[in-house]
Amino acid sequence: MLAGATVTEIAASLGVSRQTVSGWKSRYAVSGLAGLADRSRRPASCPHQASAEVETAVCELRRKHPRWGPRRIAHALERSGAVAPVPSRMTVYRILVRHGLVKPGVRRRKRSDYKRW
């Protein structure tokens, strides 16, 4: 059916761009039919996420002092020098939420439907 057809003709018949067809061709040349399977678009890693060392330090401090909040924990980490890049308060808060040590607060929406006279 598509044997001998150009990339442009194949793209038009399938309703995709020429770049997509070219990508499929190169993936098929390298991996065969397995190369045409859908691939995950998820990033391999998150370079901005706090290190495991920072996360353990934050969780340990919270377990030792259950009444301390993110501000106090960040301040204690800064004073002790336990971790090299000291995380921000928001980073500490996100770590605590991720590990279930803090219940996330309810975010209220701004009221946008004010009545004007």
Give the per-residue pLDDT at 44: 87
Interacting residues of 86 by C-beta distance below 8 A, sequence separation 6+: 74, 77, 78
Based on the domain organization, do 30 and 57 belong to the same domain? no
Give the per-residue pLDDT at 2: 66
Give the per-residue pLDDT at 43: 87
Whether 85 is covered by a domain: the verdict is: yes
Helical axes 70-80 vs 89-98, angle rounded to 10°: 110
pTM assigned to the model: 0.59
Based on the domain organization, do 32 and 65 belong to the same domain? no
Based on the domain organization, do 31 and 63 belong to the same domain? no
Q: Along the 117 residues of the chain, how does pLDDT read in single tens digits?
A: 567 889 999 999 999 999 999 999 999 999 999 999 988 988 888 888 888 999 999 999 999 999 999 999 999 999 998 888 899 999 999 999 999 999 888 877 777 766 666
Based on the domain organization, do 89 and 63 belong to the same domain? yes
- CA 50 to CA 31: how far, in whole Å? 36
Nearest to 91 by CA among 81, 78, 79, 80: 78
- CB-CB contact of 22 with 7 (8 Å): yes
Read off the pLDDT of residues 74-107 as tens digits, 9 standing for 90 and up: 999 999 988 888 999 999 999 999 999 998 888 7
Nearest to 98 by CA among 71, 58, 67: 58
* Residue 75 tokens, joined: 């301040």
Q: Give the total number of structural domains in the chain.
A: 2
Range of the domain at 31: 7-36
Give the CATH number for residue 74.
Answer: 1.10.10
